[in-house]
Every structure is written in C-alpha cells, then in structure tokens.
Structure 1
C-alpha cells in the first residue's frame, strides 16, 4: 500500500464514521492550513479532522490541540497509535492499525461539541 492509498483509506473511514452516526450527518470538506479538513456541516456538532501526507511517507490525522482529543485517545488507546504530541495520529502505509479504535476516535472528534 502506498501513502496515497492509505490517505484515501483514512479519508473514506472519516466519511464512513459520519454516515454511521446520525448525530454527525454530512461533512464539509475544506482546506485548513493547507490540509484537507472534514467538519460536520451541522453547526455545533464536532471538531474538525484533518489529513496530511507527510514528507517521510506517513499520513497524519490531525485534531485541534486545544480540544485535548489526542490526550483522551492516549488514555483510551495507549498503544494503538503512533501519537505526535497533542495533535496527531500518524500512520505508515502497509502497517496495520486498530480500525475500530480509530473509528471511535474519529467519532469522538466529529461529535466533540455535543453533550456526551
């Protein structure tokens, strides 16, 4: 698998999570900081999730650091992902990752503003 294929797989997973959760609904795709960003179209629902292919061939899934989402992911899934500080999960093409845990994390981000 190439980093481009991994990027597309992760992008599809973001849309899959949104489609499976009625609280999220449709997503708006835009560029933020030069990276594709995915945010619920419904206002006051969730935080954005951004994707970016990195120069080293990895793909980063970025979250707004002030939300403390990545810190929560670390608590829930301490060894499931390669974390980059308080803002990203990093993925390597061809390396397995916990798909269910990632779907949960994406869902947490896309519903961040809702009372849980």
Structure 2
C-alpha cells in the first residue's frame, strides 16, 4: 500500500463547498478520481491541493498542474484543465479520439448529465500527474 501525503489548503476546501448543489458532487467526484489515481502511482508520495487562478488545483513534483472548475457562464458543464503548453490534451485526442469533448489544447469538458469514462479519464489524470517523467513518450505512457 502506497502512502500518499495530501496537503490541502483551506481555500481549496472552501472553493469546493462554494459550488452550487447541482455541481458540487461532480466536482467532488473529479477530486476523488485524482486522489485515487495518485494513490495508484508509486512515484507520487505528495499531492498538494490548492487554488490556481481561483480554481481547485492539484500539484505533484513529477507532474503538470491539473485544475478543475465549473463556471456560471457555462452552467451545464464543468471542466478539467491542463497546461496548454504541454502535450497532454493533444495526446488525449490522439489516444482517445472523440471519447472526450475538448476545449482546444487546455481542457476536457464534461456535461452535467454525462457519464464519465472513468478508466480513460484516470489515464489522463495519471499522465498529468507524472508528466515530467513521460513527456518524451509519444503517448505519455497511456
């Protein structure tokens, strides 16, 4: 069993609680997927939950910043964001095609009533959390 040390800033928790009822559970579900995935990666022993650009974010020493959010201007959807200068979203498109809906090279967009393809999303999360180790692999280890 891998021990994962999770450091959570109070603002992160406050932000999760601030989401409207109809999306709060969705955001919590994404968080749980990130935590579950991080626990499965032996190289990751520390995960920081913080806010970046006012959005719940996850940081590891081995990876790229992973963010998530819901915005009032698009209330029917929520997103998981990736560093736009990385190859992450480009590679997700290569590997998973149209399984996900993408926003350019920076996000995967989920509709509120959409069933999340959990196994595939966890592969995207894993590639992000260990990006610095896999960035030279064609498919980022997916």
TM over 0.5: yes
Cα distance in 1 between the residues matched to 2:111 and 2:25 = 11
Shift of 1:50: 0.2
Cα distance in 2 between the residues matched to 1:2 and 1:68 = 32
* Correspondence 1:1-116 to 2 at 5 A: 2-40=22-60, 43=61, 45-55=62-72, 56-57=74-75, 58-115=77-134
**For the pair shown, which has the larger CA radius of gyration, 1 or 2?**
2
Answer yes or no: is the 8 Å Cα contact 1:19–1:26 preserved in 2: no
More relative contact order, 1 or 2 (CA 8 Å, 6+ apart): 1
Unaligned runs of 5+ in 1: none
Other structure's SS at 2:97 match: coil
Q: Give the structure-2-normalised TM-score.
A: 0.75
Output one character per residue of 1:35-82: Cα deviation in whole Å (capped at 9) or x when no partner: 111011xx3x11011011122221110000111200000000011111
Unaligned runs of 5+ in 2: 1-20, 138-142
Following TM superposition, where does structure 1 have runs of at least 4 consecutive aligned residues deviating by more than 4 angstroms?
Answer: none
The RMSD of aligned alpha carbons is 1.5
Answer yes or no: is the 8 Å Cα contact 1:60–1:89 preserved in 2: yes
More helix per residue: 2
Output one character per residue of 1:17-45: Cα deviation in whole Å (capped at 9) or x when no partner: 001111122210111111111011xx3x1
Q: Give the structure-1-normalised TM-score.
A: 0.90
Cα distance in 1 between the residues matched to 2:30 and 2:45 = 18
